[in-house]
Amino acid sequence: MTATFTPSISRPFTGPFGADTTAGEIVAGLDLGGRRAVVTGAASGIGLETARALASAGACVTLAVRDLDAGVAIAAEITRSTGNELVSVARLDLTDRTSVRAFVANWDGPLHMLVLNAGVMAAPLTRTADQWELQFATNHLGHFALATGLFPALVAADGARVVSVSSAAHLRSPVVFDDVHFHGRAYDPWTAYGQSKTANVLFAVQANRQWGGDGIHVNALSPGGIRTNLQRHLGPAELASLEQRGAATGWKTPEQGAATSVLLAASPLVEGIGGRYFEDCTEAGPHVPGTDRGVADYAVDPESAERLWDVSTATIRS
């Protein structure tokens, strides 16, 4: 790993796209032939649409999924809809260190785009075999192990992009370093989810500092509100509340929800930009109290980002 990269100061990114933009519109006219992408959680929702958009522009796309049968079916469907036969499937269970290591060991050659999309939301208290809290393990630690394991492949791409899918739910909680896995404090599903989504942003901040000198740029994003399988753990009252909020702010389609991920993974408009948080295909400003817009100060705090990197490294190696 090279010395810490210090990015140049530049104006916040704004572009021609917005909340209604689809992933297909982002890649319209782009030629991604010869470029390789991995999308985690690509068997449904915005992961599927992210993979489809990249494949439609000619990229060689690997769907990293837990359920191989579902992944194979989705890969075939993407090939039918895009005409791109360079769509493959590989098993990846982010809660299983052996699975992550196997995925990394089996990867060969450069990797140009890594989209860390898979996730679990508001799950009841569940612990992995390592006694890690499920949401933090899935949403952050598994992705951290995957990305750091694939670092040589990213370097080999000479200009790789890493995309960390966070959420406006990061506003619910910072990373509580004294008890990340809720061994001592009372468990709340939404607090745990918020903590894991803050970790996704902090990862982007520190990874860009660590890897920017190697030409790897890392950004985080909120995809917005989308009805997907992510809501499978919610009860009737929570679903009703979410529906009410979505009706007020406007639901996105999965194609619209994938747009910001695809922008950060593939668009030349964000070339050289890293360590930032995006929403609706534009760089977000500071959080506006009373809203779910913007990024929390604690999610882009460089000291917290460095601390999380160190803690995560020690955890996955323990």
| Mean pLDDT of the 230-247 span | 50
Q: What is the mean pLDDT of the chain?
A: 92
pLDDT of residue 11: 73
Instruction: Say whether pLDDT at 296 is over 50.
Output: yes
pLDDT digits (tens, 9 = 90+) for 81-127: 999 999 999 999 999 999 999 999 999 999 999 999 999 999 999 99
pLDDT of residue 247: 47
pLDDT of residue 228: 56
pLDDT band at 282 (very low <50, low <70, confident <90, very high): very high
Within 8 A by CB and 6+ apart from 30, the residues are 57, 266, 267, 268
* Residue 187 designated active-site: no
Instruction: Say whether pLDDT at 241 is over 80.
Output: no
237 vs 60 pLDDT, higher one: 60
Instruction: Say whether pLDDT at 231 is over 60.
Output: no
Please report how many Cα atoms fall inside a 13 Å half-sphere around the Cα of residue 233, on the Cβ side.
14
Instruction: Say whether pLDDT at 275 is over 80.
Output: yes
Catalytic position from the list 187, 193, 277, 298: 193
| CA–CA–CA angle 209, 210, 212 (5° rounding) | 65
pLDDT of residue 204: 98
Share of the chain above pLDDT 70, in %: 90
Instruction: Say whether pLDDT at 249 is over 90.
Output: no
* Sign of the torsion formed by the C-alpha atoms of 258, 264, 270 and 273: positive
Q: How far is Cα 1 from Cα 69, in angstroms, rounded to an integer?
A: 37
pLDDT band at 262 (very low <50, low <70, confident <90, very high): very high
* pTM (two decimals): 0.92
pLDDT band at 5 (very low <50, low <70, confident <90, very high): low
pLDDT of residue 109: 98
| CA–CA–CA angle 276, 155, 26 (5° rounding) | 50
Share of the chain above pLDDT 90, in %: 87
Can you tell me which residue has the tokens 């194609």? 255
pLDDT digits (tens, 9 = 90+) for 170-222: 999 999 999 999 999 999 999 999 999 999 999 999 999 999 999 999 999 99
| Mean pLDDT of the 7-35 span | 90
